[in-house]
Amino acid sequence: MAVTVSPERDSVATPVQRAMREALYAGAISFGLFVLFIGLKTGQNISNELVLTTRWGLLAAVVIATAVGRFLYVAYGQPFLANQKITDVATGALPTGLASRFFQLPTFIVAIIAAVLLFVFNNSLTGWVGAEPAGYLQFLRALAVIYVLACGIYYFRAFIHANFTKLGITALVLYPILVVAVLSLNAWSITGGLQGSLKWVDNFGIQILIYVMLAWGLNIVVGLAGLLDLGYVAFYAIGAYAYALLGTQYGLSFWILLPAAGAMAAFWGVLLGFPVLRLRGDYLAIVTLAFGEIIRLVLINWREVTHGSAGISGIPKVSFFGLMSFNVSDSNYIAKVLGIAQSGAYYKIFLYYLILGLCLLTAFVTIRLRRLPVGRAWEALREDEIACRSLGINTTTTKLTAFATGAMFGGFAGSFFAARQGFVSPESFVFLESAIILAIVVLGGMGSLVGIAVAAMVMIGGTEALRELDFLKQIFGPDFTPELYRMLLFGMAMVIVMLWKPRGFVGSREPTAFLKVRRAVSGSFTKEGHG
Amino acid sequence: MQYFVQQLINGLTLGSIYGLIAIGYTMVYGIIGMINFAHGDIFMVGAFTALIVFLALGALFYSVPVVLALLVMMIVAMLLTSLYNWTIEKVAYRPLRGSFRLAPLITAIGMSIALSNFVQVTQGPRNKPIPPMVSQVYNINGISVSLKQIIIVLVTAALLALFWYLVNRTSLGRAQRACEQDRKMAALLGIDVDRTISITFIMGAALAAVAGTLFLMYYGVIAFSDGFTPGVKAFTAAVLGGIGSLPGAVLGGLMIGFIESMWSAYFSIDYKDVAAFSILAIVLIFLPSGILGRPEVEKV
């Protein structure tokens, strides 16, 4: 094909004109995508028939927003990003270009003062300015706190980078204490602080740590051994039901059932793995998915044992190693033994440390296993299965151990989940959960423990934080429910993060054992069997 | 015997729908080696589009002949659903084509979550029932065959014939098969690989949209979460038949349909899905690359 370069052609395609064209395309496409789904809405009328209502205004807004967004991105965003990349390459300081302009010392000080002032006068704000502006001010306060924290992280980034693991573990250990301390100061009473800490410790702390543990468990299977498992939630379900059934029927203690649940999940892992592990790649994926669905369907339909969709309730609480209990009616209730005020927060804080301990156990075992022959065999298997087999590694046993180890941690997490909820039902073990856990493993960078923890914090913490966006009701009216958008945003975030960092937050781990030095000895100098 | 034939007909109907969806999975897998997890939700979007078109037709015109209504629903659903799949491929899969294997799988799962929740947010979480469109039932020797079932089987057969022609006899189909064998070589020979892959996605979505319309006509109800189960079943069907093989996808779809209807007729309806998944596992143990799939040859 002959290409003629004419001066007119160059002058035609200025960035702005190109952006206009792209914006028109984007608008047309989004009109096509949304005309039926946003433009029309199906709803029931009084006689329960479906009727359509029109929302052309909203459709127009969405289409125009798409077009304008595309225009701005093509006309200004892309050139800016390209320039930024060139600047970064030229100066060699990768993140400083934009970030040092954003995190400046004067703004940092202003943000600290604003945050402190708003915290101090928090309780009298509503009286001064009314409920609605107070909501905005609280939002402003949250922004200021986030900014201050981000600044702190930015200023100490070298230190944080060097000691990330130690700092992370310290922060996790101190987290409930800090939450209770801050909230007690804020409410001027310890009981108030304990009450307020429930949400932060339970919804954020425990929730995130459960996913961290699950993702670290799955990481053994997917990240280390390279086996794609889409039904990991089955082992989680087995652990949860093992504790729920044995705990309610036989009254056994959590501390006996925790290892039992892990063993049971591992047993099922072996049972599933034995016939299917010679399948390759995606065939294995679909069989594990099918296994996850089978377990869920059996849990729903085997009503005599599992009570079907109604689930099992009244699962006993964990005791403090049998010494103290968290049931108010018991004689050795923790508040009576220690002589402190009653509160539900003790149990949550205890559970937080329990799951933190389980997480650290998982991480410790993973790190140690990576250095054992079996861990090295896993990593070798991930890199090249044929090479593994020719080196005499028994691939079936290696895969089985990975599967069973991963399943065991899933079982631990499951029994913890049952103890924390006090209630299990098949609803909690749908495929979506497997998908979320797998997404966390991949987004974190397969094989990297720190990356996975960060990914869990971002994805799960982010969706939990969306529950807190009540102030949006003041903008969009009381009918606006931010919870509805939670999973929509979650799905989109998965796509965006993956596109932005295809190798995960931290990037894949190199194999633990790696021959770094290339020896410059040619073949003719070495005898057979040496060198 | 009558009962058995009756179940056979039910299975054939169900299997046709699964087969239509399974083709989308198997084609995408064949050409870029990726499990398109959003395909089940694409099917759901197709069914929802058909539902909205059905309601719009009812609101705009006093009465529309059923055949015409079905045709319009199908065509609009095919067009818009193709647009969805085309956009998704362009936005979420194409940038990751050179990346490692799990990356597009994760974006596909993300897209699946986003699509079903998008429909939930915009159209509401409730089941959407429509009045029955076609209600004739024929009775032949004590076996009842509804017109709906006949329509489903005929439409599926016609589409499969058209599809077979497209893949085996046109230059587009040749380009697709070439890309399937070796994408780099195909590109060197002047085939526009990006365009071929886009068209593959469009074709898969169009078939899924037809399946969605037929599903809506057959069951008369759709909800935002209805994409998952048929999607997984169709994917199971594609793997059972040998992923990457088009006749395999149809065969697998029919098998899953038969297993389901027979199991619910003779054993227990609760465990029909368990039966389908267990048979998948058993078949894969003995035929590790599906019934019609070619075993992968590893070259070192």
Look at residue A330 in the predicted model and tell me its pLDDT: 73
Look at residue A226 in the predicted model and tell me its pLDDT: 85
Task: Report the domain count for chain B.
Answer: 1
CA atoms within 13 A on the CB side of A6: 5
Range of the domain at B275: 2-286
- Is residue A122 domain-resident? no
Contact assignment for A36 to B53 by CB distance below 8 Å? yes
Check CB contact of B119 with chain A, cutoff 8 Å: yes
Number of helices and strands in chain A (H, E): 25, 4
Check CB contact of B84 with chain A, cutoff 8 Å: yes
Alpha carbons B41 and B115: distance in angstroms, whole number: 6
ipTM of the complex: 0.89
Q: By C-alpha distance, which of A495, A485, A224, A249 is closest to A363? A: A224
Question: How far apart are the CA of A165 and the nearest CA of chain B, in angstroms?
Answer: 27
Contact assignment for B55 to A42 by CB distance below 8 Å? yes
Report how far apart, in Å, the C-alpha atoms of B102 and of each of A192, A327, A438, B86 are. Answer: 47, 46, 10, 20
Contacts of B239 in chain A (CB under 8 A): 282-283, 286
Same domain, A52 and A171: no
- Is residue A154 domain-resident? no
pLDDT digits (tens, 9 = 90+) for A384-421: 888 888 999 888 889 999 999 999 999 999 999 999 98
Contact assignment for B118 to A37 by CB distance below 8 Å? yes
- Is residue A105 domain-resident? no
Decide which of A58, A75, A95 is a domain's last residue: A95
Report which DSSP code applies to A327: -
> What token pair was written down for A366?
């993973």
DSSP for A457-468?
HHHHHHHHHHTT
Contacts of A431 in chain B (CB under 8 A): 228, 232
Same domain, A182 and A52: no
Task: Report the domain count for chain A.
Answer: 2
- Is residue B292 domain-resident? no
DSSP for A126-144?
HHHH-HHHHHHHHHHHHHH
Alpha carbons A276 and A86: distance in angstroms, whole number: 50
Cβ proximity of B81 and A448 under 8 Å: no
Which sign, positive or negative, has the C-alpha torsion B68, B71, B75, B77? positive
- Is residue A118 domain-resident? no
- Please report the residues numbered 267 through 296 in chain B whose beta carbons come closer than 8 angstroms to any beta carbon of chain A: 270-271, 273-274, 277-278, 280-281, 284-285, 288-290, 296
Report how far apart, in Å, the C-alpha atoms of A225 and of each of A163, A222, A385 are. Answer: 28, 6, 10
CA atoms within 13 A on the CB side of A508: 19
Contacts of A27 in chain B (CB under 8 A): none
- Is residue A132 domain-resident? no
What's the average pLDDT block by block, 10 residues per block, for chain B (300 residues)?
Answer: 88 94 90 89 95 90 86 94 95 87 88 93 87 85 88 93 91 90 90 93 94 93 90 90 88 93 88 88 84 71
Instruction: Provide the terminal-to-terminal Cα distance of chain B, rounded to the nearest Å.
Output: 54
Same domain, A208 and A333: yes
- Is residue B8 domain-resident? yes
> What token pair was written down for A426?
């098949």
Cβ proximity of B284 and A372 under 8 Å: no
Kindly report the CATH number assigned to the domain that includes residue B202.
1.10.3470
Contacts of A33 in chain B (CB under 8 A): 80, 83-84, 87
Cβ proximity of A402 and A224 under 8 Å: yes
Alpha carbons A513 and A379: distance in angstroms, whole number: 9
Contacts of B290 in chain A (CB under 8 A): 283
Amino acid at A119: F
Question: pLDDT digit of tens for each residue in chain A (531 aa)?
Answer: 444 444 454 445 677 888 888 899 999 999 999 988 888 888 887 777 788 888 888 899 999 999 999 999 888 888 888 877 777 666 554 445 566 666 777 777 888 887 777 777 666 666 666 666 667 777 777 788 888 888 887 777 777 777 778 888 888 888 888 888 877 777 677 776 677 777 788 888 899 999 999 999 999 999 888 888 999 999 999 999 999 999 998 888 889 999 999 999 999 999 888 887 777 777 888 889 999 999 999 999 988 888 888 888 888 888 777 777 777 777 777 777 777 777 777 888 889 999 999 999 999 999 999 889 999 999 888 888 888 889 998 888 899 999 999 999 999 999 999 999 889 999 899 998 999 999 899 888 887 888 899 889 888 888 888 777 666 666 666 666 777 788 888 899 889 888 888 777 776 556 666 666 655 544 444 444 343
By CA distance, what is A274's nearest residue in B? B285
Same domain, A400 and A482: yes
pLDDT digits (tens, 9 = 90+) for B92-130: 999 988 887 788 888 999 999 999 999 998 888 888 888
Which of A95-134 are b and which e, b meaning 16 or more Cβ less than 10 Å from the residue's Cβ? Answer: eebeeeeebeeeebeebbebbeebeeeeeebeeeeeeeeb
Instruction: Say if strands B143-146 and A423-424 run parallel, antiparallel, or are unpaired.
Output: unpaired
By CA distance, what is B56's nearest residue in A? A52
Three-state secondary-structure class, residue B137: strand
Same domain, A80 and A207: no
Report which DSSP code applies to A223: I
**Cβ partners under 8 Å of residue A5, min gap 6:** none
Burial of A495 (0-12, 13-18, 19+ CB in 10 A): buried
Check CB contact of B214 with chain A, cutoff 8 Å: no
Contacts of A283 in chain B (CB under 8 A): 239, 243, 284, 288-290
Alpha carbons A296 and A291: distance in angstroms, whole number: 9
Range of the domain at A243: 163-500
Q: Residue A44: phi, psi to the nearest 5?
A: -90, 140
- Is residue A102 domain-resident? no
CA atoms within 13 A on the CB side of A191: 5
Report how far apart, in Å, the C-alpha atoms of A173 and of each of A177, A179, A242, A363 are. Answer: 8, 11, 29, 15
Cβ proximity of B210 and B140 under 8 Å: no
Same domain, A342 and A467: yes
